[in-house]
Structure formats: C-alpha cells, structure tokens
A and B are shown apart, each in its own frame.
Chain A
C-alpha cells in the first residue's frame, strides 16, 4: 500500500479547532439560555449513614435555586452492582440512593444556583451529619478479606498448568518477590462535566464521555426514559484514559435539576472531586515467582495478584492476564483476588491489568536475568513461545523479537554495564534498563453511516469519540482512501448518540473496530458508485464485527522499552535521560497520532514508575493528596527530548481488514519496569514498591556507603 493515505502522518483534522478554541467541550457548549450551575457536596466519612442534612444556611445564600439530596431526589432506577451481567458502564446510576455512605468523597447533595460561584459558596454551607462506622481502607491489611472474583475484566480468574511449586524447588535460579503498585487517578485535563437541557420531554446531555452509547443507555435507564427521548453529545473530550468510561452523578443530577428548574443545568466536578467521584486505578499487591534452568529457559511462571475493589461495586483488574501469553514455560500459574474496601469505585485506567502487571513481571524478569548472569534481552529471547503458552492457539502475529533486537541496536544497549553502579557522570549514577510490552488486541462490533453529496463531499457519522487520540483523523483517512477522495473532502461527525453505534474509546479497541466498520461501509458505497449510481444522495450504512479469529488466534500487540536514567548518588533523586520504545501494533493508521499515543503511554509509564501515587489515609478512607500540586505527574523538566517511539511495519489480517491493532495502551505496558530496571542498573537499589522515590533509594545508597567503608 505504498501511496495509501492510510498510515500517513497527517496532522489531526480537529487540531485547528482545538488550538483556536472552536472545539467545544461539554462545559463550553452554549445552552439555549444561561444555565444554572450545580456543585456537588461529597461525604466526609468513609463508611456509615447520613443522619441529617441541614441546608438552611445554604438555602438563604444568594442565588440559590435548588438543593437536592436523598431526602428529595426523585425516584430513579435501582443500582445493580456489576458482576450481575450486562455492560458495566450502561447500568443505571441512581444518585443520592438512600442514607448509606459507601466511600469518602461520595456525592451526598447537590446545590444549584444562578452562578458557579454562588453554588460553590452555598455548597460549603450544607451541613451533613453522619453516624460513622469503622471501615476497611488498607489493602495490605484487607488481604484477609480477599476473594476470587467470578471473572476478571476480560478472561478467567485463575489459570494453572503443571506444577509451579515443584518446578521452583528444583530450579537453578529463581525469583520469588512481591511488588506493590499504588492507587492512581486518571485526572485528565478536562474535568468531568455535564450540561443538561430539556426541550419538552426530550433530554439532551452534553457530557465528557468516552462511550456515548453506554452513557446514553445509562442516563436513559437511570431516569427511566425511552432511549429516543435522550440524546448524548460528546464531540470533544479533554482526555479520558478510562476515567470517562462510566458517567457520574453530574450527568444524572444535571438532568434531574434541569427538569425541576425548567432550565439548563451545568455541573463540573472540582479537581479534588475527580479523585473520589470518578473511578481510579486500584492499588495492587503482586507476587511473582519465576524459575529457570541454567540454560536460561523458564520452567515456571507464577503471577498472583491482589487488587482493591470498592465494596459497593466489584471491579477485578486483570493484572496477570497478559502474563498468560508472554513467555514460554511448562509450569504456569496466574491468580486474581479482589480485596473489598470501603473506597471509591475502581475501574479501568489506560491498559488496565497490563500497566500494573508488567511493572511487576518485567522487573522480576530483570532480577532473574541477573541471577542467571544473562543479559535481560537474551533471557527474553530464550523464552519466546512459538504459540500461545496457555491457549495453545497460534499467534496472529508476534514481533516481540524484532522489537527487542532492533531496540537494543538503536538504543546502544551494549553501553550497559552488567554490574550496577559502574557508569558515573559526576555525582550521578547512570543506568540502562529494558522491559518487554504486551497488550491484548480487542475488536468489537461497530456501525457506520457514510454519505456522498453531489460535490463528492463525504460525511461520516458514528457515535465514536475522539478523546485526544486522533479518531477523527484516522477515520477521515480510511474514508478518503477507500472512496478515493482527498482527506479534505471528508467530514467526520462523532460523539452523538443519534449516530450509528460504536464501542467508543476504551481498551484500545476504538481504532480497529471503527475503521473496520467504516471501511466495510465505504466499500459498499464504492460499489454503488462503481455500479453507476451518481454521487448525490448516495448513502450507505452498515456494521462489522470480529469473527472467530479470537478463539483461533492469540492476538496481542508487543513492544520493547529501553530507558537510561541517572540517580543522584547523594539524594537518590532519579531523572530520566532518554527512552526508546519499539512497537509492533500491526498496521499503523496514522504514524503521527500513533506515535503520540505511544509516547504518551511511555511517559505515563515513567510517571507510574517514579511519580504517581494517590495516597489513601487509612484512618478515614480519604485520598490525601487530592490535587495536582500533591498528586505528581511528570512535568516538562522530567521528560528529556530524547524520548522516541518507533513502529515496526506490520499487518495483522486476523485483527481487522485494515490490519491494525490497538496502540493507545501499548506504550504504557512495561514502560515503568524499564525505568525501574534502569534505576537498579544505575545504583544497585531494587525498589519493588512503586513509585520509586528518593526516600526509597536513599536507604539502599546509605547501606552501600557503609559497605564501601568496611
């Protein structure tokens, strides 16, 4: 496909609208009349009952229009905990559902006023009294409550092949280590927000959602409205990362308040509320056991995971799921246990399961390589499976080996000293580390509608979203290429529930699912043109869905990360110097937006390794550092310019007719482990408790100083 427009590094077609401010996000959309503003009041206990709500002072506050709580909220559909089947995100989300408090920071009241400032001030005047119960907020301690979930996000709870214990007992080298990862909060730049407006008996909600389709169902079912009486619009989303898969109280409550006030109502969460009102990535405890012979071949891989799950709503992160397909070994074990805690609801965050699972597995592989006195790349090469090690079906494609070897070459892996602490640059200790990456490829059914007018201008309509990834652009490229028109002749309309259904943005399935459907529909339209129908009112609509390739082939994307870090020998401060990722994600649909996605993922891996940590105060169940001054992500100074992502040429015909696989989440997988391994290589301190901060390095450095003085 040499001159195909698909794959070209086109600038995003929505870029101009974004940089000029014409792109309207949920909270920017003008309503038919000035909206009233709602502000949430959230609980200040982690578990218990609301005993009293005193709103007198708030009611007397200027500009107040409405105060709502469990005492006066209209009836809504009941809440069904997940696990009872059906789509988790399309469920009814009734608000102010009784007096029970399930977690700290749960919405308990809504204050609506003429202005945002008035509502904010009055929200602080609502006094809520509670009967506090003692709750469980500590993952390590809560492990005694752990239970096996029915299933994990995708896949079965446990897998067991052979006898791991026996293999470990008789192995030449082994690792048995426990790794922990902290809570993380998505915190996209755009706060979760909704603007609801009624026109007669029809409701329109502009909200920041990744999944228009399930938002539509969730809002309609909560309010017991027929689907056709609800429209959801989400044309632009300022980052989602999984945090905007579900809808939250803002959407439901704005709709209810707008009805009662007969006026549009807007609700925007505060940054602090983003930590508790929206979902988060669960903290994990992971035990990894690896055994290998002197030949460096793995005889056993065991990955056991414990994750937090909200007591009120189960979510079982698939921490060890991809370990099932990563390396060959005759004896294997993966288990998942959830620990029910009285904390906010956990759910997917960029590469759920894999992002945290590979922080552990890929660090353990580094530890094993050292014990075997083997280069960590060589260890991986020696354990490359020729088919899926657990399902035994062939891989659709698997280019991990080229990722590893090309990356080693390009990064200058031979500069790495096998012995830690050898490379010095004034007071900095410099180290190199690597890790492999794996991420399942999911494709889902999707629909599309395409029209061509008399001027051969093409209009695409899908309820897909663009959460900053480049969906608008790749869809335009696919339509342009298939219909043989310039990209400028294609308008892509997304983010309306009135458009044909798609799975939306999540799980990196959006691109492959939506481009497949769009491709099929464009092919159908092309046939009409080729059959002599003239452009004008030409239209085609249809859908595509994956076939049996999922059972018959093991489908993943792969990558290899290489990182160079410097550790301050005095203070333990860690700074990234350069980083390279080589990736295999089938055919790339737009080399620019895909690269941005991969680099974004890699940097989130850096963030996971070194920075992010939403701290729970285990006395109250509250997230302590709930703002962006306290919750750290890397800033520009943390990211050197020498960060690059390279995509190998590929085509996976089992994944989609266009040969692409998901890239959005691949970049984060393994990235943090490469950093951790580089830190170890730099200074010889192994930190298994993420994030790796100076305090955790310092103790190790001091022990080394003592050892040197002896």
Chain B
C-alpha cells in the first residue's frame, strides 16, 4: 500500500472540493477500495471519506418509489421494510452478497462501483488491460472460469461482480450523480456500467470527480419477484451466474416480465428481448426455457466458462418460475 492522506468532510460542497485534488478518491465502506490499495491496484494519494455526508437515508419519493442514499449500507438496505415488501428481489440480492460483516460496512454507491474479481486484475505482476491499458488480457487464454459470456471483447472478459446492481437493473433504477460544478444528473442503471470494448479501464458513465448521491427506484413494478444466485459454495462467494426475475400475470398469461443477469457480463445484463418474447405467452416451463435460451442469444464462452451459457439459461427459467410462484402468493 502507498502512503496516502485522508479527510472526512461533513458536507457535500467540501467533499466535492476535496475530490478535485489530484489522486483523490472517495472512500465508502472501504471493503473493496482498501483491498485494492493493499495490492496496489488502486493507488490514490488522498482519500475523501464520505461516511459523514448526509447520504445515509432511504426515503420515499413523490412518484411512489424510493431514494436510497449513497452511503446506506447493504445491511440496512436489505433490512428496510419497504425494500423487503416492495422490492423483495433487491433485498434477496443484497443478502446473497458477501458476508454479514462486509454488508454492514459496504455502501450502496461502493457496491455499484466495486471492481471485478478477475484474479489477474488483482495481481500487478500480470498483464491486464483494465489495470494497465495495452498490457494484454491474461484471462482470455488463462483461467477464465468466472469470466464473461456476454458482451465481452478480446481486450477484457471480466464480469461485474455485484448482486445488488443486478436487482437494481431489473427494477429500472437510476443513479443520481453530482459533479463538482453544475447540476446533478441521473443515469439509468442499465447505462451506468459499460461494456469493455477497447477501453476496459473505463467502467462506468461516472465522470472524474463526480459523486454518487443516491440510487432511485421507481414505483414497485407489478408482478412477482425472484433473485436466484448460483455459486460454488453456500455463502460468501460471488455469483457464477445470478438472475433477477419479475413476472406480472394476467390470469395464466404473462403481462410483463423482466430479466437481469449477473456474473455473465461486464455490467448487470438486462435481457430485453427475452422479456418481450414472454409477454402474452402462458406461464409454462416451455415459455421459461425459451426465455432462458433467448436471454443468452449471442453468448460466447472462452473455454473454462462455457458452462455459464447453459447454466444461465437454466437459471433464468428457474428464476422466472419462482417469480410466478411469488406472483401467485400475491407478493407483487
């Protein structure tokens, strides 16, 4: 770890001013940033701790949604009664992530901005285009069991590891960002993270020095919700594949559906075509299997991760089935 300076401003203006210092970075819960600093993948010279900013509230919005402050912890968000009742897939996704200790510390904004768990990204002795642009991708022909099958490029096949963001993608969330100068803006969560293309080091739409202030959830969508995470061990493990699913029923017919996947791409992956294909169909295993296949259109494996393509299809179908069960239970 390199030496760094630290400050903890108590208001937004001070925080935005502090971040203008060259080499400065915001510090949320620190559960990802500090690990990366220890292995010198991140080398900020100044940390701006935002834990004292007034951003730790979950508030109801006028349009019936929720505004989640950037520093609300993953534990608090998962436990919020409004989230549990109206956005159960989000609560489930959060509780499927990391461990109790980490969730107590991890923040909403930090979770969105956590970096990939690609082994090579963490090891500064290895080529990695994301960490060191132009050096090559060690995973492409390496140990790529946990890597992307959708939207990847030869420059980078890393996945975004968040569970929370997958549910937020399915819920049509928006990220609220505040630049140093000027007005705040909103970015759709599905547009917030980028695909790697030729610049895998550019991961989000956030601009230099911009502070995430909140995540906005629109009013709860109609339908039953489910979150299904597949992993090698029962807890404390990143997703091999995860699926946030929503199904709204009209009798036996599907009125609306949403599908978002984690563990398969450089961003939370919305499967819009598979969703559309479901509308008007009857809620049967066959429809869901077809949606699972459609969700993986264009998927490509890199060897050790080939299994993710069929795993994801099957998991989409299972999550949709579960969402229907939830819909029947009236939870949504």
Contacts and interface: CB of A to CB of B under 8 A. Distances in A.
B84 interface: no
Given A617-B142, A637-B234, 7 more contacts: A44-B125, A120-B1, A427-B318, A570-B314, A634-B233, A635-B233, A698-B307
Contact of A619 (B2, B142, B235): B142
Interface residues of A, number: 38
B186 to A, nearest CB: 33
Interface string B221-251: 0000000001111111100110000000000
Given A427-B318, A617-B142, A573 B231 contact: yes
Contact of A635 (B124, B236, B240, B315): B236
Interface of A: 44, 62, 117, 120-121, 124, 272, 427, 570-573, 575, 610-611, 615, 617, 619-620, 622, 624-627, 629-630, 632, 634-638, 693-695, 698-699, 702
Given A629-B117, A630-B119, A699 B233 contact: no
B329 interface: no
A575 B231 CA distance: 11
B125 to A, nearest CB: 4
Contacts of B3: 62, 117, 121
A107 to B, nearest CB: 15
Contact of A121 (B1, B39, B138, B234): B1
Contacts of B317: 570
Contact of A638 (B119, B120, B234, B318): B234
Given A121-B3, A637-B236, A624 B125 contact: no
23 contacts: A121-B1, A570-B318, A571-B230, A571-B311, A571-B315, A573-B230, A575-B234, A611-B232, A617-B142, A620-B126, A622-B123, A624-B119, A624-B142, A624-B143, A626-B119, A635-B99, A635-B237, A637-B234, A637-B235, A695-B240, A698-B307, A698-B314, A702-B310
Given A617-B143, A624-B119, A694 B230 contact: yes
A706 B240 CA distance: 23
Contacts of B120: 624
A668 B241 CA distance: 31
Interface of B: 1-3, 39-40, 99, 117, 119-120, 122-126, 138, 141-143, 145, 230-237, 240-241, 307, 310-311, 314-315, 317-318
Contacts of B125: 44, 622
A124 B43 CA distance: 12
B1 A117 contact: yes
Given A570-B318, A615-B143, A624-B119, A638 B1 contact: no
A53 to B, nearest CB: 16
A125 to B, nearest CB: 10
B233 A695 contact: no
Contacts of B236: 635, 637
A78 to B, nearest CB: 30
A572 B40 CA distance: 37
B232 A693 contact: yes
B123 to A, nearest CB: 8
A636 B235 contact: yes
A355 B39 CA distance: 34
- 6 residue pairs, one from A and one from B, having the closest CB atoms: A637-B235, A637-B234, A695-B307, A44-B125, A571-B230, A570-B318
Contacts of A615: 143
B228 to A, nearest CB: 8
Given A625-B119, A630-B119, A695 B234 contact: no
A635 B232 CA distance: 11
Contacts of B1: 117, 120-121
Prevailing SS type, chain B contact patch: loop
Given A617-B143, A637-B235, A124 B311 contact: no
A25 B3 CA distance: 28
B323 to A, nearest CB: 14
B154 to A, nearest CB: 17
Given A624-B119, A630-B119, A635 B307 contact: no
Given A573-B230, A624-B119, A694-B240, A635 B235 contact: yes
Contacts of A611: 232-233
A581 B234 CA distance: 22
A341 B289 CA distance: 46
A626 B119 CA distance: 8
B103 to A, nearest CB: 14
Nearest to B322: A427
A382 to B, nearest CB: 37
Contact of B232 (A62, A427, A632, A637): A632
Nearest to A117: B1
Nearest to B241: A571
B126 to A, nearest CB: 8
A290 B234 CA distance: 35
B45 to A, nearest CB: 12
B234 A635 contact: yes
A619 B232 CA distance: 25
Contacts of A617: 138, 142-143
B145 A632 contact: no
Given A629-B117, A694-B230, A638 B235 contact: yes
A702 B317 CA distance: 14
A572 B240 CA distance: 12
Nearest to B124: A124
Contacts of A638: 233-235
Contacts of B145: 695
Nearest to A61: B3
Given A121-B3, A624-B119, A632 B237 contact: yes
Contacts of A575: 234
A627 B124 CA distance: 14
A563 to B, nearest CB: 15
A619 B311 CA distance: 28
A130 B294 CA distance: 49
A622 B119 CA distance: 11
Q: Which of B122, B124, B233, B314 has the most CB of A within 10 A?
A: B233
Given A121-B3, A570-B315, A699 B307 contact: yes
A121 B2 contact: yes
B3 to A, nearest CB: 7
Contacts of B39: 272
A549 B311 CA distance: 56
Nearest to B237: A632
Nearest to B143: A624
A589 B261 CA distance: 54
Nearest to A697: B307
Contacts of A117: 1, 3
A318 B314 CA distance: 42
A627 B3 CA distance: 23
B289 to A, nearest CB: 10
Nearest to B240: A694
Contacts of B123: 622, 626
Nearest to A42: B125
B311 A694 contact: yes
Contacts of A427: 318
B192 to A, nearest CB: 24
A693 B232 CA distance: 6
A237 to B, nearest CB: 25
Contacts of A636: 235
A117 B315 CA distance: 45
Contacts of A624: 119-120, 142-143
Q: Which of B125, B126, B234 has the most CB of A within 10 A?
A: B234
B216 to A, nearest CB: 31
A153 B307 CA distance: 39
B233 A632 contact: yes
A575 to B, nearest CB: 6
Contacts of B122: 627
A117 B38 CA distance: 10
A619 B126 CA distance: 11
A626 B39 CA distance: 12
A572 B3 CA distance: 46
A341 to B, nearest CB: 17
Contacts of B99: 635
